[in-house]
Amino acid sequence: MVNYQYVRYGRSEAGASLLLAGSERGEGDGREAWGGSRRGARPLPARQAAKELTLYAKIDTNRIPYDFKRMKASDYFDDCIEEIGLGLEAEHIGLSYFNYAEDSVEIIADPEQLKRVIDNIIGNSIKYMDKEHGLINIRVKDVGDFIQIEIEDNGKGIAQKDLPFIFDRFYRTDASRNSATGGSGIGLSIVRKIVEDHGGKIWAASKESTGTVMYFVVRKYQEVPNE
């Protein structure tokens, strides 16, 4: 059963049909990026864990490797959500996706590192999902000089006292410290670093027992006029 919807404004629905067909065939799993199911978290595979540790070390010395590319914002995020949808299907979590960006809008970004940002946020949503019917809503919006991505879940939420500190390195909320699936407290600090290195910013809004919305923006590509 397909338990998510895929919506693209201003272009053909062919992409939606392809995505849903892939989900029904069960292509891919997607859990590797998130370290396992919320119903039984497992350690990251050794190779992936080693890569993450290397990245953690590089962030301290501003040596995160970037390969910036000029790319269509809509195409990039559509592809990301196709992969994410397959993974969430395996986790029995519903997904809604709304892409409001025009086809012509471009960004300059490192596709791998930007995907790391999305995977980390989705991974946290899965880890702290406490609802029987988990839902994640992803929205891509055009906000002037930036493209804004909003990732909303209906999980346990974050206490207001913790919210200002969640992007600080090694900070762990009470829920994380008291959970068997709690992480190292470094993931969101790397997310912030990557977003800021793309010329953007990241922030969050949350309400306990209701859910969390993570927002981040990346700059659009803009031609510099010749004088």
Q: pTM for this one? A: 0.77
Question: DSSP states of the chain as a string?
Answer: ---EEEEETTS-THHHHHHHHHHHHT----GGGGTS-TTS--PPPHHHHHHHHHHHHHHHTT------EEEEHHHHHHHHHHHHHHHHHHTT-EEEEEE---TT-EEEE-HHHHHHHHHHHHHHHHHT---SS-EEEEEEEEETTEEEEEEEE-SS---TTTGGGTTSTT---HHHHTSTT---S-HHHHHHHHHHHTT-EEEEEEETTTEEEEEEEEEBP-PPPP-
pLDDT in tens, 9-62: 443 333 333 233 333 333 343 334 555 455 444 445 566 657 767 777 787 687
pLDDT in tens, 176-186: 544 454 455 57
- For the chain, domains (ranges, CATH) are 4-30+65-219 (3.30.565.10)
